[in-house]
Structure formats: structure tokens, C-alpha cells
Amino acid sequence: MEQILTARDDFIPIDRPVVLALGAFDGIHIGHQAVIISARNEAKHLQGTAVVYSFWPHPSVILNRPKKLISTREQKIDRIKILAVDYFVEQCFTEAFSAIRAKDFIPLLQKKFHRLAGICIGENFKFGQGCEGDPYFLRDQAYDFGIKVQESVFFENQRVSSSNIRKCLNDGHIDRANRMLGYPYSLLGVVFKGRGIAKKLGYPTLNIRFENDLLLKFGVYLVRYRFSGKEEYIWGIANFGTRPTFFEGIPEISLEVHSFDPVILHGQEGRIEIQFWGYIREEKRFTSQALLVEQIRHDIKVAKSRMAHLF
């Protein structure tokens, strides 16, 4: 997959028919995947080129409606690569771009892609100044090529959307969020040296400085992780929160991961990916270290039981 960063008027020289999958695509959930796969299949039918056309930064940032994003830019690109399209075109989303009228959007795309042959979008896609454009408007404007509107995907009577996935993550419904994503929710970060408190309790942890926006509910999770450049995942539990047993005053959000095999933690550092597979319990303050240790033992037992039923 070739990645292209484009300004408003950049012409992209592709000499075959182009089918676009168009959207912001935060999270690349199963609904987004359906749109992208539809574009890929149509491009194959036309012996053309499948292009994911998306935006960075996320439009909500420029429109002063910032959202906690499910994925980082890096994660988004990696997910798109898995879907085996030919190009990922990342439009610089600026105030000027947001002011483009819906009626001028199709001519803009035709200027970028001279052989534009089709566009695939979700049924809730909005575009143009003030979000005045929608799929019906797009169909009325598209005289020279086809518009494929992908119907929404549902999971247990709930529409799969980035907003609904964000709510699931905020509420601790990791299993549901993962089903909607089509893969386990994950954070990227860097390991740093902590104060060694967990090690003194007999449960050493990796301290993670994470790069993602915060979406998760505070609590204990079943996780697996791997370091950059490694194939093997390692199972464990993670605490995401403010560690109220040891820290008072202004809360500082932290992420700590304890491996089921603590030997693996020794001397590990660098970039890391942490996948979240289940919510164990809420974070709480303990009146003694002994009670905390007892709870950690129980958390590990519960987590291992959950892990046994995942595959």
C-alpha cells in the first residue's frame, strides 16, 4: 500500500480507474471495513485501483468538536494496510478545507483523481461546509461514476459506530467494543522506570507512558502485550487509573501491566502495544497492602479464567 499526504489541490497520478472508500474512519471498525472492502471489490471488478481517502487531523479537531479518538494515526494506517488496498490518501484537513461547499466536493475529487470511477461511503457520511452534504446529495452530484452507500452494520441491535465504541470503552464494555471493532482495542506506548512499588508487593509491573487518547474506564483488565519488533504476545493483567491506594491529592492517570510470567518483565523497555481483552473490576482504594495483594491474586485468577474461554 502506498501512502500519500495531500493538500487540497494535489493531483494524484493513478492511470487506472479509481474507486474511493471515503470517510474519517476512526478505529477502522467492522462498519468501516465493510466500506473499504466494498471499494476494493469494485476496483477489482473494474480492473482499477482501490483508494482509502481519509483525513488528518480528525475533522472534529478543526471543527472545534474534539473527540477522544479510538486509534492513533499509526494504528489507523496499520489497520488499513491489513485490508489490502492500493493507496491510502490522507487529506490535510484544515479550516479552509472544512469551508468547501458540498457542491464543490465532487469536482475537487475529480481534480485529484482524473479517472475517478466510483465512491463507497457509509450511510451516515457527511461532508462539505456545515456538513450540508450527505449520501443522497452525493448521488445527485455524481453524474460520471457510481456511488455505493454501505448500510450500517449492527451488533446485537446496536449500530456499529465510532461513537458507540467510544461509549463501550468508557463504560468498561471491552468485549462489546472488540466485537464492534473486529479486533482487540489496543494502546501504544513506551515503558519507563517506575517507583518499584508493585515489585515490592511481589507483582512487578511495566509502567507505560501511552500515546492514545484516553477512552478506557478506570479498572483492572485482562491484556496481552508485545514489544516493538516482536511477534510473541504475553498475557497479563493491567491496572488503568490513578492508583488510589498509594497516591492521594491530584490524580495522575497511569497504566501498569503485570505479566502472568513476571520473569519476562526483567529489563524490558521500549515501545509496546497493549491489547485489552476483558474488564475485570473497577479500580478501588485498599486500606492495607495485604488486602491489595489478596485482591491481585484474585484478579489474576479471574483473568486466567477469562483467557481460557477466549479461543
* CA-wise closest residue to 275 among 177, 161, 168, 197: 177
Contact 10, 90 (CB under 8 A): no
186-308 has which fold? Elongation Factor Tu (Ef-tu); domain 3 (2.40.30)
- Is 264 a residue whose pLDDT tops 70? no
Domain boundaries, the chain: 2-159, 186-308
- Do 2-159 and 186-308 show the same overall fold? no
pTM of this structure: 0.93
Amino acid present at 266? H
CATH number of 2-159: 3.40.50.620
pLDDT tens digits, 82-134: 999 999 999 999 999 999 999 999 999 999 999 999 999 999 999 999 899 99
Selected residue with higher pLDDT from 246 and 36: 36
- Is 200 a residue whose pLDDT tops 90? no
pLDDT tens digits, 213-241: 877 999 999 999 999 888 899 999 999 99
